[in-house]
Amino acid sequence: MDYTKFMTERSKARNPSAIRALIPYMNREDMISLGAGQPNPETFPFESMTVKLKSGEIMEMDPQLFQRALSYDLTSGLPPLNQWLRQLQTIEHAPPCDFDISVGSGSQDLLTKALEMMTDTGEAVMVEDPTYTGALAFLETLNCTLAPVATDQYGLVPDALESLLANWPATNPSGRQDQSRPRVLYTIPSGGNPTGISSSFERKKQIYDICHKYDIMILEDDAYYYLQFDEKRIPSYLSIDVDGRVLRCDSMSKILSSGLRLGWVTGPKPLIERMNMHTMVTNLQPSGLSQLMAYELLKLYGHQGFFEHVHRVANFYKEKRDLFVECLEKHMKDYAEWVVPQAGMFVWLKLKGIKDSQDLIMTKAIEKKVVAVPGLAFMPINKVTPFVRVSYSNVNQAQMDEALSRLAEAIAEANECK
């Protein structure tokens, strides 16, 4: 595939930094480097790093890797971590096409770089309706047209995508007739933020086929992939990507720690290379110490141990989901509708009798001392909505019960006032 059509001129214009391009040579043992002007690690006060795990195990960072992690390193991530993640992608997704990997400072870092690489000013980008505020906030800065694609309880609706593309530019939300068809679809296939919805495998195949037909790149933002409650995870877009049209972002935030700020992107080499160029000219690389901490843990776990760990994490959220749904049944039946999430940490409530959730959540719910997020925040095109996002990730059963009872009261009072 010719990937240059998915790169903006700005992205194509990025050249390797002369010094960064030398880093692979500098780390070779037979090389004497007069090149980099790297700060001398002898001046760094850190001697070693030991981390105690909740299991009681002590994780001693490999001394050589620790010294390496204190210095500048490769743009695409600490090599043993990059390698470990490459193996993980092969085991988990068995991508049909050749792929490359790059580590970033969280999946947000990577997905915004991917969006920036593929979106010209004034261009149209397809997003789910509703979608993640973090992506919307970034897309707003690109000055592009957002083309929302409808979703339902099984994920993106294939007919909606087909109709949007087949009837372009008549379907262009900006009304511009001269704007070319979008070339990117941004999707959150597992435990969607805000909907909690997971796209079925059937749907993924249908959506993929449409993207193949119209030559669309799929940006798969799968931060909640390992938080699927069913033991058998729904296969990813990457796993069915026979054309090389998927860029997939994974995150360590929901499974190891969000403060590590680590994520990884998998996809066609030419696109990953462009993203690396972006890193090279902006934040240089993700934090070495974060990467080392993650790598030592993943090495300790091994791939099998990693799968056992994510299974435990998914079960943790599944138990919370079950309790939360019980509380929803108890308090919210008369006031809202919802789809029970099969992954992640969100429920998308459609309030009954309320047209616009904004005022209710921002004033009445706050007065009752309960915080939720009004649906407007997730709308690609500002529109009044009865939806509200609630999350069960950080509340215990008593708090869930109390919060939902307060929310129900706020809705009941708002309905009475009408």
Ligand X SMILES: Cc1ncc(COP(=O)(O)O)c(C=O)c1O
Which residues are near ligand X by CB under 6 A?
106-108, 132, 134, 188, 193, 221, 223, 251, 253, 258, 263
Minimum CB–partner distance for residue 393 and ligand X (Å): 10
CA nearest neighbour of 198 among 189, 186, 185: 189
Angle, helices 269-281 vs 107-118, to 10°: value is 110
Q: Which is nearer to ligand X, 75 or 107 (CB)?
A: 107
Minimum CB–partner distance for residue 237 and ligand X (Å): 14
Whole-angstrom distance, CA of residue 125 vs CA of residue 174:
11
Whole-angstrom distance, CA of residue 388 vs CA of residue 396:
20
Q: Which is nearer to ligand X, 132 or 229 (CB)?
A: 132
Q: Which is nearer to ligand X, 275 or 411 (CB)?
A: 275
Q: Which is nearer to ligand X, 134 or 173 (CB)?
A: 134
Minimum CB–partner distance for residue 402 and ligand X (Å): 25
Minimum CB–partner distance for residue 48 and ligand X (Å): 28
User: Per this entry, what is the length of the chain?
Assistant: 418
Whole-angstrom distance, CA of residue 386 vs CA of residue 372:
13
Q: Which is nearer to ligand X, 75 or 253 (CB)?
A: 253
Helices (H) and strands (E) in the chain, counts: 13, 14
* Residue with smallest beta-carbon separation from ligand X: 106
- The dihedrals phi and psi of 388, each to the nearest 5 degrees, come to -140, 140
Q: Which is nearer to ligand X, 192 or 244 (CB)?
A: 192
Whole-angstrom distance, CA of residue 49 vs CA of residue 296:
11
Minimum CB–partner distance for residue 110 and ligand X (Å): 8
Minimum CB–partner distance for residue 225 and ligand X (Å): 10
Whole-angstrom distance, CA of residue 5 vs CA of residue 166:
20
Cα 167 off chain centre by:
29
Minimum CB–partner distance for residue 403 and ligand X (Å): 20
- Tokens 């409650």 belong to 229
Partnered with residue 156 across adjacent β-strands are 151
CA distances from 375 to 114, 261, 364, 380 (A): 26, 27, 15, 11
Minimum CB–partner distance for residue 367 and ligand X (Å): 27
Whole-angstrom distance, CA of residue 183 vs CA of residue 4:
12
Minimum CB–partner distance for residue 290 and ligand X (Å): 12
Minimum CB–partner distance for residue 193 and ligand X (Å): 4
Rg (CA), the chain: 23
Whole-angstrom distance, CA of residue 114 vs CA of residue 108:
10
DSSP per residue over 216-253, as a string? Answer: -EEEEE-TTGGGBSSSSPPPPSGGG-SSS-EEEEEEST
CA nearest neighbour of 404 among 374, 378, 368: 368
Whole-angstrom distance, CA of residue 338 vs CA of residue 254:
23
Minimum CB–partner distance for residue 102 and ligand X (Å): 14
DSSP3 helix / strand / coil % (the chain, rounded to 5): 45, 15, 40
Structure tokens at 265: 């992107």
